[in-house]
Structure 1
Amino acid sequence: MSGAAITTVAELESVIGRTPPPMHLKVIDHLDVGALRWISASQLMFAGFGDGSGVGITLAGSAPGFASGDAQELRVPLALLDDPALAQPGAAFGALFLLSGIGETLRVNGRVAGIDADHVRVAVDECYGHCAKALIRSELWAAQPAHAPDDSAAFVAASRFLALATIGAEGRADLSPKGDPAGCMAQLDGDVLWFADRPGNRRVDSFRNVVEQPNIALALLIPGANRIAVVRGQARLTTDATARERFTVKDKTPLLAIGVEIETLDLRESPALARAGLWPVHTETDIDPAELFVEHIKLNKAGGIGASLARATLSVPGVTGLLKKGLDKDYRDNLY
């Protein structure tokens, strides 16, 4: 399997391709009105905190409005973090905000600016919307309240959602969602946990980070249950056919498999999930993810003719509806 190992960014891009330039245009450097609305309506956040020595992952959650912020700063109550000890001043931060019943997610990256008596304050560097493919594949919002297995192997086999926290050589954290049917989300093979890469937004920040710095943390979730599995270890990327073929779904074999040499694997109840009360889905929102995507591209400060043309095109009336149709088609045709 060593001959199939991915050890450089160039090798990674030769397998999955380079990030398309339009993907960079959806990233803004602050929390705009749409992002703040999203955060105020969210019941659950996955968050990674890290530094040069590694990264940890935790959840925060409660009723909508548990997190808040302004254009430059995100604020999360320490009491609503499952593991508040991870939040240290100066730590890199990557987060994923979920909206009940919505497939798309909001990603926020930055750095812990400070800890006061009640909150962790994060200086925001990046904010962008993430496509719905991971949540669609996991059928996250179709779940009903459920019991999770007490056995680690059984829990991993039943999991359908994974949040991956990584940190790169430059100290930037990333929190990436993964989703798949039970049995294909993650698999244990001795002391190694395996999962696969699937089509997504093609930014692949998490895999670039793994190439640079392999220490990772991840949380596995069984939709409907309040228990999670938290794994820490060293990740490696491979194109080995045997590793990839174990994750074939609908006759589609992933291009890349990820193996994590497990240092710790802990099953734990998540108070954040219990407070969030995600299942059954009952919260309605008028937030339109396609509208958020459009507004972020308009707000992006990138220069150049391509960026200017993209922003001009998105000012045409009706373009949000066209984007939504394009997303829906992509979700139907390119899940695997």
Structure 2
Amino acid sequence: MKKRGFGIGCMWYGIGNTGLPNPAGAFVDFLDDGTVIVLTGCADIGQGSSTTLAQIAAETLGVPFEDVVVVAADTGVTPDAGATSASRQTYISGNAVLEAARKARQEVIARAAAVLGVPPGEISLKNGQVWHGEEPAGLSIKEVIAKCRGEGVLTLGHGWFNPATTRLDPATGQGIPYATYAFATQVAEVEVDTETGIVEVKKIVAAHDVGRAVNPQNVEGQIEGGCCMGIGYALMEEVVVKEGEIQNPAFSTYLMPTAMDVPEVIPIIVEEPEPSGPYGAKGVGEPALVPTAAAIANAVADALGIRFYDLPLTPERVVAEIKKSKEKKEDDGK
């Protein structure tokens, strides 16, 4: 018999290292042709941080995204940005790039204002052009850069950011461990085969507060990937250790989800801008994984009326608990 169930998992997650300094730095420079180079220690390990940081720089400097080159995680030339962990890079390195870009922009705006004979406060940069108020000023950013170079003015900005935290008091555990938090709720629908114990996840709806989605497609991809990891945590992945030796060290024995195991995932991006984040952004790395296993376990409990306390919910464990539940009911009925 197959039974269906629904479960909810909720989470809040601190962005960055816990109660510790974790700064990041960045350099942003206009090149002679009006393009931009960003130097950041932020390592892009597949999450799309280089794309996000390029977008932040492009938005701040008023140039097309295609005109921004990111040099990342090169210890020979890039400033420290800390680890790509703790869901911190969009928030922390993003702020560092934002600050560096603002400083570079100030130099360009100051020179453009001098050329046009207007106050710097009336100048902005958009679409590769200098704007005066709400109208293009007939002057390109590239032309301003050329004037800066002719006068020996560098258009290099540097920035760094360290979230406002305090260490936890060792006696009370009190403090401010994170400057901001991510929030999420996921709902899972499962189907459980009571004969085989196989749990099939049919659908996951995942709503995540990300502050501001700098790149919505990247955010959706991270949510979908996190849900896939959560399925592995909930149903498959288990390190079996016997007398200090791992018994399943190969992919043939340590099971992980494949494309065949991934259900329909419906990502819902909730944007509640974070005042201290770059353009209101926070992070969505680990939060996408955190509530998934709980939602699946709750859905299995809803389907079977049995609460599980150990993961993963392998077929053997599910069948054993179903059998134990039946025996208990029979004993209670005697």
Fold match (TM-score > 0.5): no
- Pairwise TM-score range, normalised by the shorter structure: under 0.3
Normalising by structure 2, we get a TM-score of 0.21
Larger Rg: 2
Structure with the higher strand share, 1 or 2: 1
Normalising by structure 1, we get a TM-score of 0.20
Structure with the higher helix share, 1 or 2: 2
